[in-house]
A and B are shown apart, each in its own frame.
Chain A
Amino acid sequence: MFRYALRRFLGALPTLFIIVTLAFFMMRAAPGGPFDSQRKLPPEIEHNIEVAYNLDKPLIVQYGIYLGRLARGDLGPSYKNKDFTVAQLIGIGLPVSVRLGLSAMTLALFLGVLLGVWAALCQNRWQDYSVMALAMAAITIPTFVTAPLLALIFGVYGIHVFGQEFYLPVGGWNGGALPNMVLPVITLALPQIAIIARLTRGSMIEVMRSNYIRTARAKGLSGEMVVWRHALRAALLPLVSYLGPAVAGILTGSLIVEQIFGVPGIGRYFIQAALNRDYTLVMGVVICYAALIIALNFLADILYGLLDPRVRLT
């Protein structure tokens, strides 16, 4: 098991390296520089600025300098927000984004698996059809529609229950207070709940048809025992493979959710940074996200190895 984990870990490092390299060269290849949009400066000052930011050196050298700084944990200064270094900006935004993303992922896994298993066990009955229909709807309606929709329903019009009116805040993070988290987390989680539910349902149906489930039933085990001990673990395997893309999906969705609900995470920085050619900030965000995804893929691999003993020996 340890060897398997080690192999997976060593495989992850080159991936990170490639991502950094790709992002670096892509950003640099784009026309325009970080200071173009500002007032035209006298050539000497422009030159000084370039030297200060190492922009006059050949690309390869800039790459080397960047890698060197990276190894020391120095992500460089933000070209646009001159009062902050990239590391500081990320330090402010990352915890928020992580909290948002993690909550959404947990919710998605929990609800998705529950709904998927339920639908599978009631296959082709009304429970199954309704869950699958809802899932389909949640997947095809884009996040930037559900976000304002939910905001409208819960924030502006409110819910009227038992003569009381309930509102949920639609803007601002308020340091991550629970009421502020509800809408963004649900919006972010919705498409993933749907995908996970569909995946789990399909996988569960496959597993329930297999020979070893038949043996378990022949042994006289109760229905719950058959599902929980024998079926579930095998049915969750494809889900573990999906974890990586799931996290990527949540990261992508967070770009929208942070913008619409005013959540101060690093997603908001990213677009602006790309548009403004703020090289270092873009790189910083990309590296952050990539490291997160890679780390999660690694965890998913470990989880897979734990769940399926056959894989450990290969």
Chain B
Amino acid sequence: MSWAGHSGRKAETLERAFVGRSLWADARARLFRNRAAVASMIVLAIITLMAIFAPLFSHYAYDAVDYDLVTCAPSWWPGDAACFAGGTHWFGTDAVGRDLFVRVLYGARVSLAVGVVATLVSLVIGVLYGATAGYLGGRVDALMMRAVDILYSLPFIFFVIILMVMFDRNFILLFVAIGAVVWLTMARIVRGQTLSAKQKEYIEAARAAGVSPFGIIVRHIIPNVVGPVVVYVTLTVPDVILTESFLSFLGLGIQEPLTSWGVLISDGANTMESAPWLLVFPALFMAVTLFCFNFIGDGLRDALDPKDY
């Protein structure tokens, strides 16, 4: 049926032909109706931008020591403890006089970087491992999942600690170590999704249409597996940031003079009574960031798999 003869209605029909609300469009619409998720995305974007452009926000270097202004409360704090001499320190200074505001922003850089990179590491490992196990099925799958089960029952954090001790707190290794801990659940989720996708009838229909196994994986399985994986990725980042903070507390994470929220918080926790701002500001930033990721993750999960009540 050719449309050539209907030139008058052609524009209208062309437009109508492109009507089609894909499941992604549906999910996107639902996500943007979730106010908590949208607010979280905005806040997260702000924090990220602040972290990237941190130096623009303050003329203090993050490692600039100033022994005259040791442990000052923020400039706007009423009372003697505030730092009046030598300019504004919005968040106060730490035990060697470094500006806390700048350090929080640099800490944001490191924490976010660790969060994202380690999550990506776990994503790559987890997806490859899980998809292979799920697609191949049978004995291979059983064996691979048995390995995951065994690894799951290890007190993994202990191995991370041993690793960190072994390789002397290498910065890059931190990413890899944390990623290596977190990939397990990712692998399980990907494998579960692949298995259930594999059993769907439309896979059989594709085989009946002669599509090759590779074609099936790329065209049918991956698009349908992406959803839950994305949800889990956003929920993994807070986990990673917390793990890094835990390692920093133990002295095994980020080393001086670099800083992360974990380092700042654990230092601040020690002087909670005398200099609460050293704890409050970094903890606030970290808590807000984690909350944002959680809200976005929950929002994504609801958007992709809505349950009305």
Contact = CB atoms under 8 A, between A and B. Distances in A.
Contacts of B144: none
Contacts of A18: 150
A248 B160 CA distance: 14
A272 B279 CA distance: 26
A150 to B, nearest CB: 11
Contacts of B294: 136, 140
Interface string A232-265: 0000000000001100100110011000000000
B287 A275 contact: no
B123 to A, nearest CB: 20
A145 interface: yes
B246 A252 contact: yes
Most chain A CB within a 10 A radius of its CB, from B153, B273, B279, B286:
B153
B159 interface: yes
Nearest to A248: B155
A145 B287 CA distance: 11
B165 A275 contact: yes
Interface in B101-146: none
Interface stretch (B53-61, B204-212, B264-272): B264-272
Contacts of B269: 144-145, 147-148
B159 A142 contact: no
A136 B167 CA distance: 34
A148 B273 CA distance: 9
Given A26-B163, A152-B273, A271-B161, A255 B155 contact: no
Contact of A244 (B152, B165, B273, B286): B152
A274 B273 contact: no
B152 A252 contact: no
A149 B272 CA distance: 8
A274 B163 CA distance: 10
Nearest to B147: A18
Nearest to A147: B269
A140 B290 CA distance: 6
B93 interface: no
B153 A30 contact: no
> Mostly helix, strand, loop or mixed at chain B's interface?
helix
Contacts of B250: 255-256, 271
A78 interface: no
Interface string A1-42: 000000000000011001100110011011100000000000
B274 to A, nearest CB: 11
Contacts of A270: 158, 161
A152 B302 CA distance: 39
Contact of A156 (B168, B249, B273): B273
Contacts of A19: 154
Most chain A CB within a 10 A radius of its CB, from B161, B163, B265, B279:
B161
B238 interface: yes
A14 B161 contact: no
B29 interface: no
A120 interface: no
Interface in A149-171: 149, 152, 156
A74 to B, nearest CB: 22
A192 interface: no
B242 A140 contact: yes
A286 B158 contact: yes
A294 B165 contact: no
The 9 closest A-B pairs by CB, nearest first: A30-B166, A140-B290, A289-B155, A144-B249, A274-B165, A252-B157, A15-B150, A148-B269, A148-B272
Given A143-B246, A144-B249, 16 more contacts: A18-B150, A22-B154, A26-B159, A30-B166, A136-B294, A141-B283, A145-B283, A152-B272, A156-B273, A244-B153, A248-B153, A255-B250, A256-B246, A274-B165, A286-B158, A289-B155
7 contacts: A18-B150, A27-B166, A30-B165, A144-B266, A270-B161, A286-B155, A289-B155
